[in-house]
């Protein structure tokens, strides 16, 4: 990957469509997310995503979510193999449901050693776990020892939005303060808190300010809807800690960048958020 040829690195994209299967119609949860984001996602395969990002001169981190609530039609292994075929722009992350226990700990090592994944994605709300539950500490210890980042969903989610009981999904698992314990107990683990962490935005800013190993990605919301304190922090105190992410296909990188251009962010800070911070965190 030649960083000089890239204008940005999108650290948060989803692969929901397998290149190996034909039937990938959106399910109820994905349709609900389309209503929530006021956009019907156009699900693409990893090669199709690579073609899009190559045209935009961007790299992208791509992953799925390992959750019992979803019937996954794409595996960590498929994502990794396809991303490596498009390594000029694609960076594979894996997802492991922490409830997999010791098998999940072994899987993390295998996915790094055999498939070359560059990090892990977790969704505490969808996967139904509290990150600071010590039952999951062996997994965090394994990832820390492997030297790759762990990206955690934080805040509100469009998954289950507007459905009865929110499909039983509990938002409290994605409170950023739960990750403060993890960051303190695993100082060698790089943690990325995904999304504006509404309604806990101040918590996220405080944690990223206090813990050297914690970063914030700005995905999942159009920048024009960012809480004002997040804009101030990203452009100032956390200018070396904020990372561009779109949450594609829920938000397109083109839309995100268009709205980001309108924010009051100093010109010298923009390249940090769009590319340089991510390049450092990802070890590119």
| The predicted structure's pLDDT at residue 162 | 80
Residue 62: pLDDT over 70: yes
pLDDT in tens, 261-270: 999 999 999 9
| The predicted structure's pLDDT at residue 40 | 54
Residue 29: pLDDT over 90: no
With pLDDT > 70 as the criterion, what percentage of the chain qualifies? 88
The closest alpha carbon to 15, from 37, 47, 39, belongs to 47
Residues 126 and 67: their CA atoms lie apart, in Å, by 7
| The predicted structure's pLDDT at residue 207 | 98
CB of 82 closer than 8 Å to CB of 26:
no
Number of structural domains in the chain: 1
Per-residue pLDDT averaged across 198-226, rounded?
A: 96
Per-residue pLDDT averaged across 44-48, rounded?
A: 91
Average pLDDT score, the chain: 91
DSSP 275: I
Residues 111 and 150: their CA atoms lie apart, in Å, by 14
CB of 253 closer than 8 Å to CB of 261:
no
Prediction pTM value: 0.90
| The predicted structure's pLDDT at residue 94 | 97
| The predicted structure's pLDDT at residue 258 | 96
pLDDT in tens, 171-201: 999 999 999 999 999 999 999 999 999 999 9
* pLDDT band of 1, cuts 50, 70, 90: confident
CB of 150 closer than 8 Å to CB of 122:
yes
**Residue bearing tokens 């509990």:** 170
Identify the burial level of 164 via C-beta atoms within 10 angstroms of its C-beta, where 0-12 means exposed, 13-18 middle and 19 or more buried.
Answer: exposed
**Which domain does 89 fall in, by range?**
3-281
pLDDT in tens, 217-254: 999 999 999 999 999 999 999 999 999 999 999 899 99
| The predicted structure's pLDDT at residue 151 | 98
Residues 283 and 264: their CA atoms lie apart, in Å, by 29
Residues 120 and 139: their CA atoms lie apart, in Å, by 11
CATH number at residue 154: 3.20.20.140
* pLDDT band of 163, cuts 50, 70, 90: confident
Residues 194 and 192: their CA atoms lie apart, in Å, by 6
pLDDT in tens, 67-89: 766 545 789 999 999 999 999 99
């Amino acid at each position: 990957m030649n960083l000089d040829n890239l204008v940005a690195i999108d650290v948060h994209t989803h692969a929901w469509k397998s290149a190996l299967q034909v039937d990938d119609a959106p399910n109820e949860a994905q349709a609900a997310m389309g209503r929530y984001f006021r956009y019907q996602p156009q699900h693409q395969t990893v090669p199709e995503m690579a073609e899009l990002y190559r045209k935009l001169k961007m790299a992208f981190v791509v992953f799925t979510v390992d959750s019992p609530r979803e019937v996954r039609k794409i595996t960590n292994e498929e994502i990794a193999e396809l991303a490596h075929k498009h390594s000029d722009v694609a960076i594979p992350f894996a997802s492991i449901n922490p409830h997999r226990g010791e098998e999940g700990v072994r899987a993390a090592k295998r996915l790094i050693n055999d498939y070359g994944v560059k990090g892990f994605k977790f969704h505490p709300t969808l996967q139904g776990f509290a990150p600071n539950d010590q039952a999951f500490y062996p997994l965090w210890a394994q990832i820390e020892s492997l030297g790759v980042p762990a990206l955690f969903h934080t805040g509100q989610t469009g998954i289950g939005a507007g459905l009865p009981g929110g499909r039983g999904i509990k938002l409290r698992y994605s409170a950023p303060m739960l990750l403060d314990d993890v960051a303190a107990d695993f100082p060698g683990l790089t943690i990325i808190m995904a999304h504006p962490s509404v309604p806990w935005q101040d918590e996220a800013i405080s944690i990223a300010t206090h813990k050297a190993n914690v970063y914030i990605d700005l995905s999942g919301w159009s920048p024009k809807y960012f809480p004002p304190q997040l804009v101030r922090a990203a452009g100032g105190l956390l200018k070396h800690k904020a990372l561009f992410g779109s949450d594609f296909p829920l938000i397109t990188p083109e839309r995100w960048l268009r709205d980001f251009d309108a924010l009051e962010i100093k010109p010298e800070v923009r390249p940090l958020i769009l590319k340089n911070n991510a390049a450092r965190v990802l070890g590119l």
